[in-house]
């Protein structure tokens, strides 16, 4: 009789973003962080590893096998569970025995390398089926469950009965409500998928501001098992202009008792994930009241050590001002929000009505601008390269504010239009994409309307 694996809580990291996969050195840095911060699982699923999605049928060659074997050993040495994922959904033929054999062959290779935990991902794919697949299975959910169950049964027979993970095609509440995958998709998964298999879920949204106990309890009833959270809170592959170094937030400690784990899919740039991963580790291992801001400040005390410069070192208070500008998708850090509101108030007031508070706002903006310049000199150059574009974009905007205020505070410029020789049309905020973005306005309520036509 088959024994299902124990569902120990998984807390860790997914290398699952779109973009250049992490390097060997970055992965070893990640594993060291995870060991120290109490994170126990690493899921190998880089979207832009061709063998993960586009050429998933092809076996790994000797060089790639050696790389993966080294990763598996390195995780084992640190007490980290290594999970290997394949995403065949772009072109799998669900009813073709050859494709099932190809999946078995891939996982068989990993078994030989020492891997015992696996994952099949059917995310971010068209929800349409080939006629022969529909004739064989009847529905998208049944086809995916059938293949997944068959692969796991094959692994169990060969001693690979570790954790097995599954990502559905509708993997958030909005997708499910929209009917992605077909009517009754999640209910079918709950009924047909082997109960030993964990099911990924990102929450109400792809990037969820909050994941509540109530939301998870409703999903658990539908899936007939607690979900495993794939958390995109700190993911930035959808917007290359941003990164997020705020705390793990919007998930209460009570949630842990109702899920099978949390794996975070973080910033593409590994050096920028110090605070997100450290605070996730604190959440996973925490037992008392969760205070995201306190966890964030504590994590920054460790990260500031990486901001050494040849001259004046970056202080913790300064780093807070900078990282508050790159906090979370749905909120800014406290100091950044306060400065933004103060600057907005300056722009909303005629220069003739300015008082002494304007100068204090300008000085605060200048301090942050100059901090950006100092951060550019950090001796840990990979950290600077990860920050580079966002660092200089912030500096340019703050410099423009300084020039605007300085210009209008000069009585000689009364009635004159402000211009900056350093911020010129075409080179500043220029390009086809920004022009395209200006054509359609996104309102705070999520509705969109052409900029050339005011909303009704």
Which residues participate in catalysis according to the annotation? 124
Which one, of 123, 132, 148, 145, lies nearest residue 201 by Cα?
123
**What's the N-to-C CA distance of the chain in angstroms?**
66
**Lookup: tokens for 203:** 């929450």
C-alpha to C-alpha distance for 155 and 109, rounded to whole angstroms: 11
Task: Give every CB contact of residue 356 below 8 A, 6+ residues apart in sequence.
Answer: none
Where does residue 342 rank: exposed (0-12), middle (13-18), buried (19+ CB within 10 A)? middle
Which one, of 91, 128, 86, lies nearest residue 110 by Cα?
86
Question: What is the rounded radius of gyration, in angstroms, for the C-alpha atoms of the chain?
Answer: 25
**Lookup: tokens for 81:** 């569970």
DSSP state of 15: E
Diameter of the chain measured on Cα atoms: 89
C-alpha to C-alpha distance for 172 and 150, rounded to whole angstroms: 25
3-state secondary structure of 240: coil
Q: Are 191 and 142 in contact (CB under 8 A)?
A: no
């Amino acid at each position: 009789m088959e024994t299902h694996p124990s569902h120990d809580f998984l807390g860790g990291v997914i290398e699952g973003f779109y973009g250049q996969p992490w390097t060997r050195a970055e992965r070893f840095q990640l594993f060291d962080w995870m060991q120290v911060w109490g994170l126990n699982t690493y899921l190998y699923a880089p979207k832009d590893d061709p063998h993960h999605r586009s050429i998933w049928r092809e076996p790994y060659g000797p060089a790639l096998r050696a790389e993966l074997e080294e990763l598996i050993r390195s995780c084992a040495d640190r007490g980290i569970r290594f999970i290997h994922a394949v995403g065949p959904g772009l072109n799998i033929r669900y009813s073709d025995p050859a494709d099932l054999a190809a999946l078995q062959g891939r996982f068989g290779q990993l078994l030989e390398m020492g891997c015992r935990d696996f994952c099949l991902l059917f995310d971010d794919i068209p929800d349409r089926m080939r006629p022969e697949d529909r004739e064989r299975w009847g529905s998208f959910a049944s086809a995916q469950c059938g293949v997944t169950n068959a692969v796991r049964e094959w692994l169990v027979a060969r001693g690979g009965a570790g954790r097995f993970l599954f990502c559905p095609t509708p993997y958030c509440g909005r997708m499910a409500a929209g009917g992605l995958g077909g009517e009754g998709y999640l209910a079918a998964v709950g009924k047909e998928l082997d109960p030993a298999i964990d099911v990924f879920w990102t929450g109400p949204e792809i990037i969820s501001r909050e994941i509540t106990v109530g939301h998870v309890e409703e999903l658990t009833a539908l899936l007939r098992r607690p979900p495993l959270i794939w958390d995109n809170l700190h993911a930035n592959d959808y917007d290359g202009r941003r990164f997020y170094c705020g705390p793990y937030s919007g998930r209460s400690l009570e949630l842990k008792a109702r899920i099978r784990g949390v794996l975070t899919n973080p910033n593409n740039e590994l050096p920028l994930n110090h605070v997100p991963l450290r605070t996730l580790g604190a959440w996973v291992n925490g037992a008392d009241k969760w205070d995201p801001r306190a966890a964030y400040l504590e994590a920054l005390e460790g990260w500031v050590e990486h901001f050494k410069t040849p001259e004046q070192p970056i202080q913790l208070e300064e780093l807070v001002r900078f990282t508050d500008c790159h906090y979370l998708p749905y909120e800014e850090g406290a100091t950044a929000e306060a400065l933004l509101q103060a600057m907005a108030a300056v722009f909303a007031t005629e220069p003739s009505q300015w008082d002494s508070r304007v100068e204090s706002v300008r000085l605060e903006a200048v301090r942050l601008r100059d901090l950006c310049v100092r951060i550019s000199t950090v001796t840990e150059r990979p950290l600077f390269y990860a920050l580079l574009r966002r660092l200089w974009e912030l500096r340019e905007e703050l410099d423009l504010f300084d020039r605007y205020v300085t210009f209008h505070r000069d009585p000689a410029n009364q009635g004159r239009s402000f211009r900056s020789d350093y911020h010129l049309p075409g080179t500043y905020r220029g390009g086809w994409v920004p022009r395209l973005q200006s054509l359609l306005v996104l309102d705070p309520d999520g509705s969109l309307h052409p900029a050339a036509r005011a909303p009704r």
